Amino acid sequence: MTVHSHPEATVPQRLRILFISPEVEPFAKTGGLADVAGALPKALARLGHDVRVLMPKYRGVERLSGPLTPVIARLRVPIADRTAEGALLEGRMAASLPIYFLAQDHYYDRDGLYGTSDGDYWDNCERFVFFCRAAVEALRSLGWTPQVIHANDWQSALVSVYLETLYRDDPALAKIGTLFTIHNLAYQGVFWHYDMPMTGFGWDLFTPAGIEFYGKINFLKGGLVFSDLLTTVSRTYAREIQTAEFGCGLEGVLQERSRALHGVINGIDYEAWNPASDAAIPKGYTAEDLQGKSACKLALQEELGLVPEPVPLLGMVTRLAEQKGLSLVLEALPALLAEGVQLALLGSGEPTIERAFSEATSEHRGRVAVRLGYDAALARRIYAGADCFLMPSRYEPCGLGQLISLRYGTVPLVRWTGGLVDTVKEFDSAKQAGTGFGFAPFSSEALLECVRRALGVYRQPALWTRLRRNAMAEDFSWEASAREYVSLYRKAVKAAALP
């Protein structure tokens, strides 16, 4: 009898995965991608895979990483008609999790990752062409070849393009599967066409079917066109970005690749975010014993100068950007305060929004508290001390704030968009099921109506406790998402093996 092997059998159980990201927590961070890159590879390693991470060696990295070992002392990378030289250094993210840092001081030894407060660095195209091409060049001499490369955001998007074009015939690199993740479609890495020779690609790639986009080079588009599989950070956002409203001009490309595009929700680190052991909050608590949460609320009111009354306290921790729907909060504020609520907001970002909230504080002292700036510890005290967490985002690829609030038993009030749809469930009083409240129209009336619904339940303490416990019983830790990525990696490996 002939035994036919199942196709699954061609992909080994333990995968070799190279995770490429322009930022990785705790080494360098500007946004949510760093959190993902800091946590997902660890979860993959815990599942038993041979995962390694690659990022640029920015200024200050070595202070956080400890001593690094050179693994490729001289890495030569063609850039335009020159050769730029870098080096690959190895450190550890965890005991069995190596991280490679690509060193090239001219490109990466700077104050910022992508720019300063004056704007983006003028040579970002060159810096990330180098990053992507060096990643591919390094694999030719590293002595370790991944079966799958997981690249993230525009800065690492060209890796798939190199593998599919200039390095296509290199037997050492053949059959590497590629998966590319979009963390926020609004950032695409768009550069003028004069930079095209720097990439080493022929002009035949500078077409609508390649990396050309309205007369310019678009890195992200390269990742979308040339990777075996694509993901974004929630199922709803994966659908939304195929429409003109959310597609940032790339909806056509995404529609064409619709079969390759998947949504995998981000997790949060359940050890690092734990109200029972959080050192930044005044009193710990659990779903069974929520008393500590009331103490956290009172302490927060006192810390922020809010009247220490038992009224509903709404919290926000957010970038102050148009995306986050802050105009709705400002519009609804008088009516919200008329409902008797207090608002505690921590955020930083656009000066006009900062100013508007500062003015609201002085107008409504004792009932609205605003802290401008980035403050990780205060953020935790807001997650713990607030009754509800407000996220009226215009769009939200995944969103972490609502996941943290669920974990802290703080009821999320969200706009139904992107990852917020996939992670918050409207509370149903009759069934006592659900974890929060939401609204769909992008309007202050809809926001207000949503808050009123929440307050209706807040006034019924037993029901409210039930709702909090439902929230705390949700599990958005990384393990489930890491497993989803693994099954997609296997798909990518198979796709790459096809002739």
Q: Closest approach of Cβ 378 to ligand ADP, in Å?
A: 7
Among 43, 30, 268, 68, residue whose Cα is nearest residue 150 = 43
Nearer to ligand ADP, 43 or 217 (CB): 43
Nearer to ligand ADP, 76 or 355 (CB): 355
Q: Is 418 in the site for ligand ADP (CB under 6 A)?
A: no
Indicate which single residue of 29, 31, 426, 429 sits in contact with ligand ADP (rule: CB under 6 A): 31
Q: Is 263 in the site for ligand ADP (CB under 6 A)?
A: no
Q: Closest approach of Cβ 399 to ligand ADP, in Å?
A: 4
Count helices and strands (H / E) in the chain: 18, 20
Among 211, 329, 293, 284, residue whose Cα is nearest residue 465 = 293
Indicate which single residue of 312, 399, 409, 418 sits in contact with ligand ADP (rule: CB under 6 A): 399
Nearer to ligand ADP, 167 or 383 (CB): 383
Residues in the chain: 499
Asked if residues 345 and 375 have their Cβ atoms less than 8 Å apart, the reply is no
Q: Is 401 in the site for ligand ADP (CB under 6 A)?
A: yes
Asked if residues 183 and 152 have their Cβ atoms less than 8 Å apart, the reply is yes
Nearer to ligand ADP, 225 or 317 (CB): 317
Q: Is 375 in the site for ligand ADP (CB under 6 A)?
A: yes
Indicate which single residue of 152, 318, 410, 423 sits in contact with ligand ADP (rule: CB under 6 A): 318
Q: Is 420 in the site for ligand ADP (CB under 6 A)?
A: no
Tokens standing for residue 66: 């400890």
Question: Rounded CA gap, 446 and 332, in Å?
Answer: 9
Q: Closest approach of Cβ 201 to ligand ADP, in Å?
A: 31
Indicate which single residue of 46, 140, 319, 494 sits in contact with ligand ADP (rule: CB under 6 A): 319
Strands 119-120 and 50-56: what pairing? unpaired
Q: Is 139 in the site for ligand ADP (CB under 6 A)?
A: no
402, 416, 491 from 399: Cα distances, Å: 6, 12, 26
Asked if residues 252 and 223 have their Cβ atoms less than 8 Å apart, the reply is no
Asked if residues 418 and 237 have their Cβ atoms less than 8 Å apart, the reply is yes
Nearer to ligand ADP, 31 or 282 (CB): 31
Q: Closest approach of Cβ 95 to ligand ADP, in Å?
A: 26
35, 303, 388, 390, 427 from 456: Cα distances, Å: 35, 27, 13, 16, 11
Nearer to ligand ADP, 148 or 264 (CB): 264
Q: Is 32 in the site for ligand ADP (CB under 6 A)?
A: yes
Among 93, 85, 58, 87, residue whose Cα is nearest residue 72 = 87
Binding segment toward ligand ADP, per CB under 6 A, in 298-306, 326-334, 351-359, 375-383:
375-383
Site string for ligand ADP, 340-369 (x = CB under 6 A): ------xxx---------------------
Give the DSSP H/E element, type plus range, for residue 444. helix 444-458
Count Cβ atoms within 10 A of the Cβ of residue 483 and give its class: 0-12 exposed, 13-18 middle, 19 or more buried: middle
Nearer to ligand ADP, 144 or 374 (CB): 374
Tokens standing for residue 108: 């990466």
Nearer to ligand ADP, 135 or 424 (CB): 424
Binding segment toward ligand ADP, per CB under 6 A, in 117-125, 371-379, 450-458, 461-469:
371-379
Asked if residues 393 and 414 have their Cβ atoms less than 8 Å apart, the reply is yes
Amino acid in the structure at residue 172: A
**What is the binding site for ligand ADP (CB under 6 A)?**
31-32, 317-319, 346-348, 374-376, 379, 398-401, 404
